[in-house]
Chains A and B, each alone.
Chain A
Amino acid sequence: ETGVTQSPTHLIKTRGQQVTLRCSSQSGHNTVSWYQQALGQGPQFIFQYYREEENGRGNFPPRFSGLQFPNYSSELNVNALELDDSALYLCASGRVGTDTQYFGPGTRLTVL
């Protein structure tokens, strides 16, 4: 078990709605990254935050946005939900200058 927590565990939304997912980083970590994992696939990098700013982004549209707070917790916001957004969303925290990421248990989002 890592010290990274995510909420909620499961979420069901309908197409066109907006969703906010939350992540609490492991103590002492200052970076947080978000990944999307579709069923049967490996996780795909969405973006990373450091010092409350986006510090790298994968191939995801602007309707995926995030926030990092001074206590290093983080939010992932997705607007105008599409059916293909149904996936497990994972956050991972780490420290600048180290190579290991610590993943939370994930939030499973279903878009109907």
Chain B
Amino acid sequence: SQQGEEDPQALSIQEGENATMNCSYKTSINNLQWYRQNSGRGLVHLILIRSNEREKHSGRLRVTLDTSKKSSSLLITASRAADTASYFCATVAPGAGSYQLTFGKGTKLSVIP
């Protein structure tokens, strides 16, 4: 079953604009991770945020986590055509192995040159 729900399902923006994707989840978590997937191929790990953290940055990526609302957001600044991909949030439950990721359905991002 899916734990997370990404919003929106699809997003189309112009190159240079910022892209924001949201993720909501249902149960408590140990950490939340964001992944990128190009054209139905393998997933690439982008960033991990732990349940006791509120915000993390990595290059052009900014992730926030609100455990009281059970939600997270991923912001990609100054988007590029190469950012076109599907983005998934994945949660790890407390006590679960770090391998047991529960994914949402993803947001499909299109960046128009």
Contact = CB atoms under 8 A, between A and B. Distances in A.
Contacts, number: 76
A42 B88 contact: yes
A100 B48 contact: yes
Given A42-B104, A99-B31, A92 B48 contact: no
Interface in B44-99: 44-45, 48, 88, 90, 92, 96-99
B92 A99 contact: yes
Contacts of A40: 105
Contact of B42 (A42, A45, A106): A106
Contacts of B100: 33, 45, 48, 56, 58
A33 to B, nearest CB: 4
A10 to B, nearest CB: 11
> What interface size band does chain A fall in?
20 to 34
Given A48-B97, A94-B99, A103-B44, A42 B31 contact: no
**Secondary structure call for the B interface:** loop
Contact of B102 (A45, A90, A92, A102): A45
Nearest to A33: B99
B40 interface: yes
Contact of B43 (A56, A90, A98, A99): A90
Given A33-B99, A42-B104, A48-B100, 14 more contacts: A41-B2, A42-B88, A42-B90, A42-B105, A44-B2, A45-B100, A88-B40, A92-B99, A98-B98, A100-B33, A101-B101, A105-B41, A106-B40, A106-B41
Interface of A: 2, 4, 31, 33, 35, 37, 40-45, 48, 55-56, 58-59, 88, 90, 92, 94, 98-106, 108
27 contacts: A2-B42, A37-B40, A42-B90, A42-B104, A42-B106, A43-B43, A43-B88, A43-B103, A45-B100, A45-B101, A45-B102, A55-B99, A56-B96, A56-B99, A56-B100, A59-B1, A98-B98, A99-B92, A99-B98, A100-B45, A101-B45, A101-B101, A103-B43, A104-B42, A105-B41, A106-B40, A106-B41
